Structure 1
Amino acid sequence: MPVGGRPTVRSRRLGTALRAYRLAAKMDQLQAAEVIAAHQTRVSRIETGHVSARPLEIRALLDAYAVHDPNVRTKLEELARQSKRRGWWLEHAAHLRPDYVDHIALEDDATYIREWQPVLVPGLLQTSAYAEAVVAATPHYIAPERIAQLVRVREARQAKIEEGGATYTAILWEAVITQPIVNAGIHEEQLSKILEVGKRKNVTIQVLPFIAGAVAGSTYAFSSFSFEPEPAVEAVTMENLRGTSVLEGAEDLAAYANAFDQLRSAALAPEASARLIRSALRGSKDNAS
């Protein structure tokens, strides 16, 4: 069973893939159940992510579905193993929303992470002071000790980027840079961090200028994730007041991949973006002096 007794993004990804291969083979769940000598409900629960398939079951099912690509087979077996693995974040799970845990798991698995943020600095780029200010400003009361814990989780998430574990691209609307929602000192520290992280080989930061017009309003903030050597979008998350939604449908993924491409095309190049950020930082310091 997936850790925590509920479907995880890993077990759902495994189940979704097995279901797609079963349908492509024109087999129903009863036929698949016969392949692994199990009841049909087990196949159903595997495909919805409520239970994890064992490696022998995966191999038998893929044989029946005529899926012989060794890369596919290895990937699915690894997903099955990972669905039972305890991630670093689970020590904080009692204090995190389940949907936020899903987002962190996606980040932890990803080879490519792309984000669009029209309002806030993305969590993967936030300083501790900025993160604390943003968390404390949410419309729901959060106890001070929990705010501190959420900030620590946000800092731990950043290790993925700092260690080069994923290729990361962030597109920020110009308002995020030039119209701070925190005090000047925190904002200046934050801009400095963005510039510093942007120097990493695995990181690209672009600013979408005001002159891009309606492009900025084409979609709310979102993150997309890829899990293969190639950057095809395989999952998308969107935050709202009620939590984080995970999108995995083919049409949704295509729509958000296209939206990110449009945003990236309209954004300033990384070098020009860095110049704009440096200018905003100088302006902030000049106004404070």
Structure 2
Amino acid sequence: MAAVEPSPSLFTGPLGAVETNPTALKLILGGKLRELRVAAGLDPSAVDVRLGFSRSKTSRIELGRHGCKPTDALALLDLYGVAGDERVTEFVRLVEQSRRSDWWRSFSDVLSDFFAPLVALEGAAATIRTYEPFYVPGLLQTSAYARAVIQSGPARLYSHDVQRRVDLRQERQRQLDQKDGPRLWALIDESVLLRTVGGPQVMRGQLEHLAAMMQEPRITLQIAPLDVTASVGVGTGVTYLRFALGDLKDAVYIEHLTDSTFSQKPQVVEQYRDMLDRLGACAQTPRQSLALVQERLARL
């Protein structure tokens, strides 16, 4: 079994703010353990047997679905030929960080399983790119607009559940205010401006907020005219997460009628990134988009 060549770190670069995101850390650590296992010429089942793990435990750790204990990490690193240096110390420290609870778990009562992967990782992204065909993106919604959107859904919700969902949306927005928070590049369909959600007063407040957010240097918003969205062929909401770290793969979240798809498969991610690129190239510029928002405000 070949030992891994020594290096200052097992990672491609400093993890920075990602260290505060347990879900992202689990994925990064799992991916690194997989690389080390492959380099050592072992398959997951062989590792399970060698270390006395339960069946498929190694695979679940590598996929970020199973929290890795520090003792497990030490055993795995030793088996893969990484032992007794600062790389081990760094890795175990990150394992301990990854075992903390994510902030969003306190909203598990109102957070659907299919939405959780996006919420879990968007704060770790360098850039969030999103396209919304029906509503203002959740990261740019006012609380009143968000409440109206949530109440318009098919499920009849108690007022407490509605407020919890609004609170979750606002908590997600706070990640944009962090020092190392993600940049937001949002594309919205022109029809979103014409759809008076929650009544004129709520819509006016939302458009005023949107105009203010468009002045923020880390936020870019473009309006996609109706003929553009028809030609590009976008029929659903899409969010693309671009990570600055080579140890964490980019991801895409695609909305459907009753559920969604979250994928980090390169071919899927590339397809939707290309779609967002084409849509952004055909959409109104940020300055033109601001003028459209202000024009709509004047008519309300």
Q: If the length of structure 2 is used for normalisation, what is the TM-score? A: 0.77
What is the aligned partner in structure 2 of residue 203 from structure 1?
A: 219
What is the aligned partner in structure 2 of residue 92 from structure 1?
A: 107
- Give, in angstroms, the shift of residue 193 of structure 1: 0.7
What is the aligned partner in structure 2 of residue 248 from structure 1?
A: 264
Moved more, 118-127 or 180-189: 180-189
Aligned with 1:218: secondary structure? coil
The alpha-carbon distance between structure 1 residues 8 and 97, as it changes in their structure 2 partners (threshold 3 A), is farther
* Equivalent of residue 42 in structure 2, options 27, 46, 49: 27
Distance 2:165 2:158 in 1: 11
Checking the alignment, whether the CA contact within 8 Å between 1:225 and 1:233 is kept in structure 2 is no
Distance 1:196 1:115 in 2: 19
Checking the alignment, whether the CA contact within 8 Å between 1:238 and 1:244 is kept in structure 2 is yes
- Give, in angstroms, the shift of residue 63 of structure 1: 8.1
Moved more, 81-90 or 108-117: 81-90
The alpha-carbon distance between structure 1 residues 220 and 95, as it changes in their structure 2 partners (threshold 3 A), is closer
* Equivalent of residue 238 in structure 1, options 251, 254, 279: 254
Residue deviations 1:145-170, cap 9 Å, x none?
11011111111111111335111110
* Equivalent of residue 190 in structure 1, options 206, 214, 219: 206
What is the aligned partner in structure 2 of residue 136 from structure 1?
A: 151
Percent identity between matched residues is 29
The alpha-carbon distance between structure 1 residues 94 and 179, as it changes in their structure 2 partners (threshold 3 A), is closer
After superposition, residues 117-132 of structure 1 pair within 5 angstroms as: 117-132=132-147
What is the aligned partner in structure 2 of residue 278 from structure 1?
A: 294
The alpha-carbon distance between structure 1 residues 283 and 81, as it changes in their structure 2 partners (threshold 3 A), is farther
Moved more, 220-229 or 259-268: 220-229
- Residue ranges of structure 1 left out of the alignment (5+ in a row): 1-6, 285-289
Distance 1:92 1:38 in 2: 35
Q: Quick one: which amino acid aligns to residue 268 of structure 2?
A: D
Moved more, 141-150 or 45-54: 45-54
State the aligned residue count: 274
* Equivalent of residue 170 in structure 1, options 182, 186, 193: 186
Distance 1:244 1:77 in 2: 34
Identify, as 1 or 2, the structure richer in helix.
1
Residue deviations 1:197-242, cap 9 Å, x none?
1111111111111232534533411111123268x96111123343
- Give, in angstroms, the shift of residue 244 of structure 1: 3.5
Distance 1:268 1:66 in 2: 54
Aligned with 1:158: secondary structure? helix
* Equivalent of residue 220 in structure 1, options 236, 240, 243: 236
Checking the alignment, whether the CA contact within 8 Å between 1:215 and 1:263 is kept in structure 2 is no
The alpha-carbon distance between structure 1 residues 266 and 147, as it changes in their structure 2 partners (threshold 3 A), is same
Aligned with 1:95: secondary structure? coil
- Give, in angstroms, the shift of residue 247 of structure 1: 1.1
What is the aligned partner in structure 2 of residue 3 from structure 1?
A: none
